[in-house]
Amino acid sequence: MNIVLNEPLSQISLLFVSAAMGLLAVALLMFAFQLARLKDDPTESRFERYGFWVLGAGTLVLGIGVFLRGVAAQRVPWANMYEFAISGALMILTIYLISLRVKDVRYVATFVTGFALVTIFAAVSLFYVEVKTLMPALQSYWLVIHVVVAIMATGFFAIAAGFHIFYLIKAAGVGRALMDRFPDLRQLERVAYRFNMVGFVAWSFTLIAGAIWAERAWHRYWGWDTKEVWTFIIWVVYAGYLHAMATRGWTGKRAAVLGLIGFGAVIFNFTIVNLFFKGLHVYSGL
Amino acid sequence: MASSSRFSPIFWGRWFWRQLTSMRTALFLLLLLALAAIPGSLYPQRSADPNGVRLYFDQQPEIAALLDSLQLFDVYTSIWFSAIYILLFVSLVGCVLPRTQVHLNALRAKPVETPQKLERMPAYVTAAAKGDQLDRAEQVLRSRGFRVRRLDDSVSAEKGYLKETGNLVFHYSLVLLLIAVGLGGGFSFSGQRVLVEGDTFVNNLASYDAFSPGPLFFENELQPFSMTLEDFEVVYDLRNPANLGQPVDFIANVTLDDGLTNSNSDIRVNFPLEAPGANVFLTGNGFAPVITLYDGVGNIAFSGPVVFLPQDSNMTSLGVIKAPDASPEQIGIIAFFYPTAQELESGAYASIYPDPIDPLLTMNVYLGDLGLDAGIPRNVYALDITDLDLIAGRDGPNPPIELRVGETAELPGGAGFISFDGLKRFASLDVAYNPGGLWIMVFAFIALVAIVFSLSVRRRRVWVRQLAGKIEYAALARGDDDGLEELIVDLRKEIEGD
């Protein structure tokens, strides 16, 4: 173990991350303008176009920041809360930008950009820690597999949550003039379902990978550690959501609410459980 | 049935079973399970955090007793939590079994007859026929993986059986996984043992400091082997100022003897040792100063390494030495060990670095009856000083004994001599075996693959009918499917060849 940490480089990485925050804020403004104009003019797309260019640039700059953090620490950049948060934001934005090529998911641009922005802001202002050596329990290739898939699942759940929110707004009949420009409820529900589906599979994998790692590191595959409990709860809630989508009378609003509860549990697991609950997964570094 | 009264037990039995196995109940039980799991993260659990439970009882005994009566310290083995997941699994089996029968029948059956009114299907197009196109339709559908049935004036096709197969396999895998968890836990065991460098552990029940067997454990599960801790090394980060003193690796070098061969290997965190019939994990470490104690008449009253329990991240450690055979009086010692000692202004010491750069032992020495002869089991890591006389210590008549490696000191009042002969490290090792693990992993991965098929495959029926110069295309899906229109359009293109 001859790792030399590079805190100055980490500071440069922090600069990039902060710059990305600025770009995301600009993108968010553009998307907001777009929504405001869309109400009156369905052909409006200038702001949106610029917004996606800025969002792309912000993602790239964030990517450089995350990469430099990894170089500074000489390992994968997701071993404490600050790093989870910036890697998570990068993952959400990347998944979102790729999804744009597959499905029309422009409508949640404000939500996704806003969410990534808040995540990075929390990371930089609350969670920042200087680069540290990895404790022995984390020195495992499972850190790469288990965590990266968990972050990925979170990304998919987050985008789905955006669709759930717009679904509920539209279903409630609020802001008709604007919401009429959005796809119909069926379509919103469908896209949310697709993202949650991928998220659920990824989350299941994280759970299994975590159990395998726990067996190596803590000599039991499952011990109801607080983080394990919440991983389980999230899995069960999303399993409930998938069942709801196949149960008469439970699709639509109820399923959307379940999906949001699931995502709320994901956020709770990352913030409250990490910071305030006692457990073995005490890697916040704070 | 006319004979069965509305209120007969059979009626209610059936009613109850129908309710239990309905999707709505499954959904309800799932959400209930998620809710019921929450308290286990709010209150300390005996399984994960026994110290937390003890602390809770110390601090709030009344609330703790109340919580305990509700099994809130054992949520995941509690009656209510078990009731929920057992009901959930009964509901699951009750739902999946009949569906299996239906699915097996569907797998054997031919696609359904073409319905009369195709135009009522969610996806439907019609066109003018150009010659006989049903043969071509049959061919195209087959090449797309449909199961095809040729009827007089139409073709009926279906694909996506894998969706239901995946769904059923997923649920069966979960049942098998639960069984593997139960049986695996039953036959499992885990035992703890503290080993000082140079010590040997022989794998039998008597050798463990603590042993927790599953309910189905039998002693023959312990396979014969012995293990010697040759050397224990802690690697500290010495290069990065922000991390000085941070351990980056713990390495326990052991020799394993299984009766036939000797092998030497390292146990590290994340890298357990595979011993016969169990894995050996490294779970803790600390210092074991080697101490020799001579009593007042010059006999050796105690000799050997003493396991000191670490108290902080700089490895300030606390140890207890009991010498019941010392004469004229029994000797008890509470000792602190500082790997790198620094004197504070108060005159007390603190350790400022976890590696032994300047190790120091300080000792409070007591004389009197240690209470070991009464036959009551005593904690070896604690000394009850209520009936003892302090002869050397910070609040005693004489200052505490301070020793560095190789030094010897005289105890006050001719009680004897004590020497600090050397320093060893110890490792806490866990020997654990759970035969369920492999099976759980297998079923979990089968479930994972199955759920991917269940969620991604689309079950679709397609009909092509040619009648009176007109050709009709129709499609129906199980569940929500936004690709039906596209499918029909594609099919039509391919069949009509334009």
CA-to-CA distance for B76 and B33, rounded, in angstroms? Answer: 10
Tell me whether A148 touches chain B (CB under 8 Å): no
pLDDT score of A19 more than 70: yes
Q: What is the mean pLDDT of residues B275-297?
A: 93
**How many angstroms separate the CA atoms of A195 and A156, rounded?**
5
pLDDT: is A127 or B377 the higher one? A127
Q: Compare B451 and B24 and report the one with higher pLDDT.
A: B451
The DSSP result for B42-87, as a single string, is: HS--TTT-HHHHHHHHHH-HHHHHHHHHTTTTSGGGSHHHHHHHHH
Torsion sign across C-alpha atoms A199, A200, A206, A209: negative
Q: Confirm whether B28 is domain-assigned.
A: yes
pLDDT at B498 over 60: no
Read off φ and ψ for residue B270, nearest 5 degrees.
80, -10
One domain, residues B72 and B133: no
Residues B148 and B96 in one domain: no
pLDDT > 90? residue A249? no
Report strand pairing: B278-295 vs B416-433: antiparallel
Structure tokens belonging to residue B35: 């809710």
Which of these three, B396, B424, B452, is where a domain ends? B424
Say if residue B415's pLDDT is above 80: yes
Residue A136 and residue B269: Cβ atoms within 8 Å?
yes
Same domain, B473 and B390: no
Quick one: average pLDDT of A5-23?
A: 92
pLDDT in tens, A218-227: 888 998 988 9
Residue A243, token pair as written in the block: 């069942």
Whether B484 is covered by a domain: the verdict is yes
Residue in A closest to B456 by C-alpha: A197
CA triple A139-A140-A145, angle to 5 deg: 130
Beta strands in B51-199 (DSSP E): 123-128, 147-150, 154-159, 189-196
Give the Cβ contact number of residue A34 at 10 Å.
Answer: 21
pLDDT score of B329: 87
Q: Are strands B460-467 and B470-477 parallel, antiparallel or unpaired?
A: antiparallel
Q: B219 Cβ partners below 8 Å, 6+ apart? A: B205
Answer whether B460's CB lies under 8 Å from B484's CB. Answer: yes
Residue positions counted in chain B? 498
- How many Å lie between the alpha carbon of A109 and the closest alpha carbon of chain B? 23
* Cβ–Cβ < 8 Å for B291, B303: yes
Restricting to A residues 216-235, those with a Cβ less than 8 Å away from any Cβ of B are: 216-226, 229-230, 232-233
Beta-carbon separation of A132 and B246 below 8 A:
yes
Beta bridge partners of B364: B334
**Crossing angle of helices A7-38/A46-73, nearest 10°?**
160
| Best mutation target, A219, A271, A281, to test chain B (most B CBs within 10 A) | A219
What residue in A sits closest to B29 (Cα-Cα)? Answer: A240
B37 pLDDT higher than 60 = yes
Q: Residue B437 domain-assigned?
A: no
Mean of per-residue pLDDT scores for chain B: 90
Question: Which residue range is the domain that position B399 belongs to?
Answer: 286-424
Please name the residue that has the structure tokens 């008549």.
B397
**pLDDT (average), residues A141-156:** 93
B484: CB partners within 8 A, 6+ apart = B122, B123, B460, B475, B476, B477
Report the pLDDT value the prediction gives residue B256, as an integer from 0 to 100: 95
Report how many domains make up chain B. 3
Q: For residues A217 and A177, is the Cβ–Cβ distance under 8 A?
A: no
The sign of the CA dihedral A271, A272, A273, A276 is: positive
Percentage of residues in chain B having pLDDT higher than 90? 64
Cross-strand pairs, B343:
B349
Query: Is pLDDT larger for residue A43 or for residue B10?
Result: B10
Same domain membership, residue B147 and residue B33: no
Q: Please tell me whether residues B15 and B128 are part of one structural domain.
A: no
Asked if residue A10 has pLDDT above 50, the reply is: yes
Question: Within 10 Å of residue A231's Cβ, how many Cβ atoms?
Answer: 22
> What is the pLDDT at residue B5?
59
- Which is higher by pLDDT, A1 or B429? B429
Say whether residue A212 is in contact with chain B using an 8 A CB cutoff.
yes
Bridge pairing between strands B317-323 and B309-310: antiparallel
Same structural domain, B301 and B414: yes
Residue B92 lies in a domain: yes
Q: What is the DSSP track for B253-313?
A: EEEEE-SS-EEEEEEETTB-EEETTEEEEEEEEEEEEEEEEEETTS-EEEEEE-PPEE-ST
d(CA A271, CA B2) in angstroms, rounded, equals: 60
Chain centre distance of CA B218:
22
CB contact under 8 A, A240 and B247: no
Whether residues B325 and B385 fall in one domain: yes
Q: Which H helix or E strand runs over B135?
A: helix B134-143
Based on the fold, state whether residues B20 and B147 are members of the same structural domain.
Answer: no
pLDDT value of residue A284: 58
B434 close to B441: Cβ distance less than 8 angstroms: no
Whether B160 and B458 have beta carbons less than 8 Å apart is answered as: yes
Q: Verify that B33 and B67 share a domain, yes or no.
A: yes
Q: Which range, of A137-146, B3-12, B306-315, averages the lowest pLDDT?
A: B3-12
Mean pLDDT of A1-5: 69
Q: What burial class does residue A247 get, using C-beta atoms within 10 Å of its C-beta: 0-12 exposed, 13-18 middle, 19+ buried?
A: middle
Exposure of B220 by Cβ count < 10 A (0-12 exposed, 13-18 middle, 19+ buried)? exposed
pLDDT tens-digit series, residues B125-134: 888 888 788 8
Q: Is B170 helix (H, G, I), strand (E, B) or coil?
A: helix
Helices and strands in chain B: count of H runs, count of E runs: 10, 24
Q: Are A240 and B52 inside 8 Å of each other by CB?
A: no
Q: What is the pLDDT of residue B370?
A: 84
CB-CB neighbors (< 8 A) of A1 in chain B: 235, 237, 248-249
Q: Which of B424, B458, B482 is the last residue of a domain?
A: B424
Give residue A172's pLDDT: 92
Binning pLDDT at 50, 70 and 90, where does residue B1 land? very low
Q: Are residues B293 and B374 in the same domain?
A: yes
Tell me if B34 and A240 make a contact (CB, 8 A cut-off). Answer: yes
Is B27 inside any structural domain? yes
Q: Given this model, what pLDDT does residue A285 score?
A: 59
Q: Last residue of some domain: B424, B454, B487?
A: B424
Q: Of the ranges A245-254, B275-284, B330-339, which one carries the lowest mean pLDDT score?
A: A245-254
Are A233 and B38 inside 8 Å of each other by CB? yes
Q: Are B422 and B290 in contact (CB under 8 A)?
A: yes
Identify whether the C-beta of residue A140 lies closer than 8 Å to the C-beta of residue A12.
no
For B200-220, what is the mean pLDDT?
92
Q: Kind and range of the H or E element at B477?
A: strand B470-477
Report the residue of chain B nearest A6, measured CA to CA. B240
Complex ipTM = 0.92
Question: Residue A27: how many CB atoms within 10 A of its CB?
Answer: 29
Query: Within a domain: residue B435?
Result: no
Cα B357 to the center of its chain, rounded Å: 38
Q: Residue A224: which of B24, B45, B246 has the nearest Cβ?
A: B45
Which letter, b or e, does each residue of B28-62 get, where b requires 16 or more Cβ atoms within 10 Å of its Cβ? bbbbbbbebbebbbebbbebbbeeebeebbeeeee
**B93 and B134 share a domain?**
no
pLDDT tens for each residue of A71-128:
998 889 998 899 999 999 999 999 999 999 988 888 899 999 999 999 999 999 998 9
- Mark yes or no for CB contact A1/B249 under 8 Å: yes
B223 domain-assigned: no
Identify whether B41 is part of a domain. Answer: yes
Q: How far is A247 from chain B (nearest CA, A)?
A: 6
Min CA distance, B240 vs chain A (Å)? 6
Token pair belonging to B339: 């790997």
Tokens for B385, please give them: 């000083």
Residue B227 DSSP SS3: strand
Which of B21, B24, B25, B30 to substitute to test the interface with A, most A CBs within 10 Å?
B30
Taking an 8 Å cut-off on Cβ atoms, the answer to whether B41 and A277 are in contact is yes
Shared domain for B362 and B399, answered yes or no, is: yes
Per residue in B188-209, pLDDT tens?
Answer: 999 999 999 999 999 999 999 9
Over residues B10-38, the mean pLDDT reads 88
**Percentage, residues of chain A above pLDDT 90:** 62
Predicted confidence at residue B86, as pLDDT, reads 94
